[in-house]
Amino acid sequence: MITSNNISIADILKSIDEGRTQLPDFQRGWVWEDNRIRALIASISNGYPIGAAMFLQTGGSEVNFKTRLFEGVDKSKENINPEKLVLDGQQRTTSIYRSMYSKQPVETCDSKKKPIKRFYYINIPKALSTITDRIDAIISVPENKIIYENIGRDEKLNLSTREKEFEQHYFPINLVFDSSEMMQWQMEYNQYHGCDPVIFQQFKSFFSTIITPMSQYQIPVIELGNDVPKEAVCQVFENVNQGGVSLTVFELVTATFAANNFELRKDWDSIWARFKNEKQINYNRYVSFDSSAFLTAVTLLTSYLRSLEDPTKAVSCKKRDVLNLKYEQYITNRDRLLDGLTKAIHFLKEQRIFTAIDMPYTSQLVPLSVAFAVDSNVWFDSTNRKKLEKWFWCGVFGELYGGANETRYVTDIQGLFAWVKDDDAMPDTVVRSNFHASRLQNLYTRNSAAYKGVMALVLKNHARDFISNKEMDFVSFVGDATDIHHIFPASYCMKEGIDRARWNSVINKTPICARTNRIIGGYAPSKYLSSIIRNHSAHKDDLKASLASHQVDVDAIFADDFDTYFEKRRNALLDLIEQATGKLVSGRDEFTNITPTQADIDEMEDDDNLYDSVEETDGSEYDVEDSPHYN
């Protein structure tokens, strides 16, 4: 059941202080800075809306989160079972509680994020002024309630005693919801000023126009009943919090596992540290495989293994399945999935995909790691290994892993293991994959999975450095700061008036190490190739072999014949795609005059600025640390 009502902030704060309203363990720490708290108080004092909050009733069977008290609440309330949890509005409610309810100094930070402790006051005359902005009537003072100026030499404001508060007409904000203390303060305030009727009327006006509305202030609250499933909790949060920080599946599962005294976030951090320090697999280079994807993979593995034991159980890894992942299932299959992930990354290195920036679809790591986790031995068979490679490249060049993939994960995992048993039972990704020849020229930047796939296939087919004739394996690729650059340099092509849609296509790009790229500069190919032979002790036959290893027609490039070079390399790259996917490329014989859109041009310029600016030089020094692959 879901309801929506306006609730008095006084009731909410009292419930927080008594421990009856708490936070689920996934909620982040309180981080609002001093000026933002002042602005929040000003909004409440003016009766302005500060946004809705979302609460969740506790005690249900569907959602069982570990909870914690709001910051500033007496720790003696930790054993109280809360009635409600705040899902959305933590920052605002904590700020209001700390500044307007708690009698302790507020632990906040200044504009430079320096930790500070503050009390908040509102100046009575300024608050009543029609020419003063309300926020200017609200101040914060240090823990000792004294503000200094002139590098701490002079006292600017001292509110360290009640008498000093009375003297300078500053009302403590944390008395707004404490009626007895507020009445005591008012009585002493009037007595201090000798029951001056002007002061009395001023405070009376202050009380009726500012304090009373603040104490009666209400906020809209969406309240989820304890019968609402976790999937709905996550979806409702996303719907009402589109402009804020999203509530991820990982955070909800973290809170669920916390009920078992298991800290999932710490476990994920330890996993990250373990793989980051493992030099052989370089997991840290695949950083896009985030915590939510990891949970999806564990869920997929759990679901598939369960289906093997009970074929009546459906395989699924949608959001609701991840949210319903049991702690015991996670513990049982976590290490098995990690082992599969390790082997998956080795597999990617064999495909010459060495870093996260070169990964066509990070999402493919989910089914790939699960495939190895289910049975890694089956993929050592050469026939099955070829099937796995074919599935992977069909996913890349079919560009089938770019959207919501949970259903595809399932069909591909089931399809891969069915394919192992039956050569005719191909996975859906292999069946549906199709690459049209015209798509190749349309690949301008590494934002495209197919673009990255083409570069990986060039490397996989034993591409060698132009100068050293050394094959670009993982060590040389990273150590030599290899990156993607133009073969016919950009500046040369522009001078020659070559169509940008051609020279900036992936067809004219290849992996080139930083040192070689410095030499290439912006020269014509015939010039930079002659320089390599003349000045860098490269044998011409070795250089030709190196060029050919990049699918480059040697005669055409030595003759600066861009048209012949471009057409032959286009066909050579299409051959690589056909070999990798095991499927014919459609439209190879169709002529298409491709004109890039403005979006393509903007994307090309961004890519050029980020990765290819060195080509605009004339051989000047280049800092290899600028390469995204520099280690």
pLDDT in tens, 279-334: 444 544 444 578 889 999 999 999 999 999 999 999 999 988 998 899 999 999 99
pLDDT surpassing 80 at residue 92 = yes
Q: What angle do CA 593, 596, 599 make, to 5 degrees?
A: 160
Least confident residue range of 528-537, 542-551, 573-582, 600-609: 600-609
Nearest-angstrom CA–CA distance, 120 and 37? 9
Residue 161's Cβ-count burial label (10 Å; 0-12, 13-18, 19+) is exposed
Q: What is the mean pLDDT of residues 154-160?
A: 94
pLDDT tier for residue 19 given thresholds of 50, 70 and 90: very high
Q: Which two tokens stand for residue 53?
A: 């909050």
Virtual torsion, Cα 196, 200, 206, 207, nearest 10 deg: 150
Q: Please write down the HEC assignment for all residues of 561-578.
A: CHHHHHHHHHHHHHHHHH
Q: Give the CA radius of gyration of the chain.
A: 33
pLDDT tier for residue 351 given thresholds of 50, 70 and 90: very high
Nearest-angstrom CA–CA distance, 216 and 209? 11
pLDDT surpassing 80 at residue 569 = yes
pLDDT surpassing 90 at residue 112 = no
3-state SS assignment for residue 586: strand
**Is the CB of residue 445 less than 8 Å from the CB of residue 430?**
no
Nearest-angstrom CA–CA distance, 215 and 497? 73
The one-letter amino acid code at 572 reads A
The number of helix segments (H) and strand segments (E) in the chain equals 30, 14
pLDDT tier for residue 258 given thresholds of 50, 70 and 90: confident
Closest to 477 (Cα-Cα) out of 443, 516, 448, 507: 516
Nearest-angstrom CA–CA distance, 470 and 235? 53
Q: What is the mean pLDDT of the chain?
A: 86
Residue located via tokens 């040192």: 515
Half-sphere exposure of 217 (CA within 13 A, CB side): 28
- How is residue 511 annotated by DSSP? E
Contacts of 275 (CB under 8 A, 6+ apart): 281, 283, 284, 341, 342
pLDDT surpassing 90 at residue 446 = no
pLDDT surpassing 90 at residue 182 = yes
Half-sphere exposure of 388 (CA within 13 A, CB side): 27
Nearest-angstrom CA–CA distance, 217 and 294? 44
DSSP letters along 259-277, please?
A: TTT--HHHHHHHHHHHHHT
Q: What is the mean pLDDT of residues 449-466?
A: 93
Nearest-angstrom CA–CA distance, 96 and 294? 37
pLDDT surpassing 60 at residue 433 = yes
